[in-house]
Structure 1
Amino acid sequence: MNSTQSDVDTDVVVVGGGPAGLSAALSLGRARRHVLVVDQARPRNRTAPHMHGVLGHDGLPPLELLEKGRRELAGYGVRVVVDDVASARAGEEGVEVTTASGVMRARHLIVATGLTDELPEIPGLREQWGTGAVVCPYCDGWEHREHVIGVVATSPQSVGQAQLLRQWSDRVVYFPNVVGEPDEPEADALTRRDIRVERGAVAELVTANGRLEGIRLEQRTVPVDVVFTGPTLRPNDALLRSLGAATTNGPAGSWIAADRDGRTSVPRVWAVGNVVDPRANVSVSLGLGSLTAGAVNADLVQEDISRAPAAEPTSRASVDPR
């Protein structure tokens, strides 16, 4: 290995074994770095039977992508362990990660712990999540083209979700639920595109033999083939916050701040994927993981240079001018 090791166990610890974390680990492993991936083995999209829009892998089950990735990592000597990270410390000389199994010291830490979808409290929704109830039009819209698509509002932005889904089907039904009526311009836009509005609080998702059949309101049931809704996105960033990483506030709340390379405000600590970017789907996370790995390796190279022993002076032989 090219890595310079002293009192550290590995060059990089990656916390999180989803697309972003495994992609970063793959690039670093190919760069002949010592890498350890610590993963809880609870990926965000574990309930989805297929993933879409991932070039070369369209329709592949997401868990199969991760399994293929772990096999590829093993070929470069990257270790993946299933464990829980209890805490971490970062200092000028490196980082220390404490897991349920022990303590690991590394030169750099990449956090790729993703986010959690906090679902609306609607009976039946959790059981359908990833199959009959989904969030992303670009991930699942094609599979439900020309179907009856129900959009259950969770925020004022849900009107835009209904308008977006209209391009996949002319049978979109918007449920304002407890969010409230769309304002006049929004209501007019829904009407002009033939998006039906079904008023009333959503009581439950109606299923038969595990398959979604409709949405029950207080007094009636509206048949739908699929439900799109917007969960609250909660980044799994407790580890980064415990390290004192700076945050930034936006429409989606408070998130850890990271630059284009994934560098946080804490030296030697990086963050990539959904833990810092809610928009990062599988394809984006794969690319960002590779990009962050390149930035981490560039820092490691500079450290290798600074740690290399000074060259011994060499004497020059006299040269006969003749």
Structure 2
Amino acid sequence: MDERYDVLVVGGGAAGLSGALALSRARRRVLVVDAGAPRNAPAGQVHNYLGREGTPPAELLAIGREEVTGYGAELVPGEVVAAERADGGFRVELADGRSVHARRLLVTTGLTDELPDLPGVREQWGSGVLHCPYCHGWEVRDRAIGILGGPFGVHASLLWRQWSADVTLFRHTGPELTGEEGEQLAARGVRVVEGEVAGLESDAGRLTGVRLASGEIVARDAVVVAPRFTANSAVLRSLGLEPVDMEMFGSVIGSYVPSEPTGATAVPGVWVAGNVTTLNAQVITSAAAGLNAAGQLNADLISEDTRLAVAAFSGSDDAVAAAGRPR
């Protein structure tokens, strides 16, 4: 941990491990620091990942770690809390007091799903409580699905209707439906339930229904919620990179750290990839972003290596001798 690395990767999820794999294959000295709290840990399987469809998240990460260390990268558990410029690169502080120096940073810290504060939601998160139809829609196809209303209730209802004909929108705290929205939901066979939702019901760990404040329980096999997606940005904030809000349909859905398509941030030498900068990125998307950022980052290091080599060469005896040689 006291040694110098070419690249420190903060976060060992799909984006971080993918970037570390590319960089270690490029013969860079790479250290991955991972807090060990992957966002998709509650999910049973990873989906839409070509060649790895249905793989449990922990298994996918284990495979990735083995591949990365096989090319010489180092992985250590820990939480990065701050970073600062030092000695031509960055000094990074860990929560346990350790520090490490790296020439470049690739931050892939992901995001936190801030769930609705209702009894039963957190307990069922990733199994009976869902948010992404492309991640979980197939698994609950043709089942009884409930949509917990809010600013995106109508949108979510029409979206999830693709996977099941039994969709119920619990308007809950959502806005009054417009005439057009009501017509759309009716035309698609989506039932609308008025009244405040008090919590979720379950039996032996399986979701069974939605409990209204009135006491009525509406049987449902799955409930869809809209979390707030908050970028895990502490280390980036310490470098002056502030997250910004992202809006959808006029409402804030979360925060992200802006970057160029390459993953480069406004701070030279710092790249980002995955959910910390792209809120809707799935696992395969994050892995691709990690690879993309790694390639750009390595090119930046090559430019610096070349500049330093030229500066050293220009002052050497070899440079003087080469100047007198015919071209």
Q: How does 1:147-186 map to 2 (within 5 A)?
A: 147-153=143-149, 155-186=150-181
Describe the superposition over 1:224-253 as per-residue Cα deviations: whole angstroms up to 9, x where unpaired.
Answer: 111111111111012111211255443135
Could you tell me which residue of structure 2 aligns to residue 302 of structure 1?
303
1:75 lines up with 2:70 in the alignment: yes
**What percent identity do the matched residue pairs reach?**
45
TM-score, scaled to structure 2:
0.91
The answer on whether the counterparts of 2:233 and 2:243 sit within 8 Å (CA) in structure 1 is no
| Whole-Å separation in 1 of the counterparts to 2:51 and 2:115 | 31
**Unpaired segments ≥5 residues, structure 2:** 248-252
- Aligned residue identity for 2:81: A
Distance change (3 Å), C-alpha of 1:282 and 1:307: same
- Counterpart of 1:108 (choices 91, 104, 107) is 104
- What number of residue pairs does the alignment pair up? 311
The answer on whether the counterparts of 1:46 and 1:62 sit within 8 Å (CA) in structure 2 is yes
| Whole-Å separation in 1 of the counterparts to 2:81 and 2:5 | 18
| 1:254 shift after superposition | 4.5
Distance change (3 Å), C-alpha of 1:197 and 1:290: same
| Whole-Å separation in 1 of the counterparts to 2:22 and 2:265 | 20
- Aligned residue identity for 1:232: R
1:97 lines up with 2:92 in the alignment: yes
TM-score, scaled to structure 1:
0.93
Could you tell me which residue of structure 2 aligns to residue 270 of structure 1?
271
1:86 lines up with 2:87 in the alignment: no
- Counterpart of 1:40 (choices 5, 30, 35) is 35
Q: How does 1:130-141 map to 2 (within 5 A)?
A: 130-141=126-137
1:286 lines up with 2:287 in the alignment: yes
- Aligned residue identity for 1:26: L
Segment of structure 1 superposing worse, 241-250 or 96-105: 241-250
Describe the superposition over 1:202-238 as per-residue Cα deviations: whole angstroms up to 9, x where unpaired.
Answer: 1111000000111111231001111111111111012
* 2:139 partner SS: helix
Describe the superposition over 1:14-57 as per-residue Cα deviations: whole angstroms up to 9, x where unpaired.
Answer: 11111111110010011010000011000001011111111111
Describe the superposition over 1:99-126 as per-residue Cα deviations: whole angstroms up to 9, x where unpaired.
Answer: 1251111100111000000000110110
| Whole-Å separation in 2 of the counterparts to 1:51 and 1:198 | 32
| Whole-Å separation in 1 of the counterparts to 2:213 and 2:157 | 22
| 1:184 shift after superposition | 1.8
* 2:237 partner SS: helix
| Whole-Å separation in 1 of the counterparts to 2:186 and 2:325 | 87
| 1:8 shift after superposition | 6.5
Could you tell me which residue of structure 2 aligns to residue 197 of structure 1?
192
| Whole-Å separation in 2 of the counterparts to 1:197 and 1:14 | 47
RMSD: 1.7
- Aligned residue identity for 1:276: T
The answer on whether the counterparts of 2:7 and 2:105 sit within 8 Å (CA) in structure 1 is yes
| Whole-Å separation in 1 of the counterparts to 2:181 and 2:91 | 52
Could you tell me which residue of structure 1 aligns to residue 120 of structure 2?
124
* 2:295 partner SS: helix
- Aligned residue identity for 1:132: G
**Unpaired segments ≥5 residues, structure 1:** 1-6, 318-322
| Whole-Å separation in 1 of the counterparts to 2:188 and 2:235 | 45
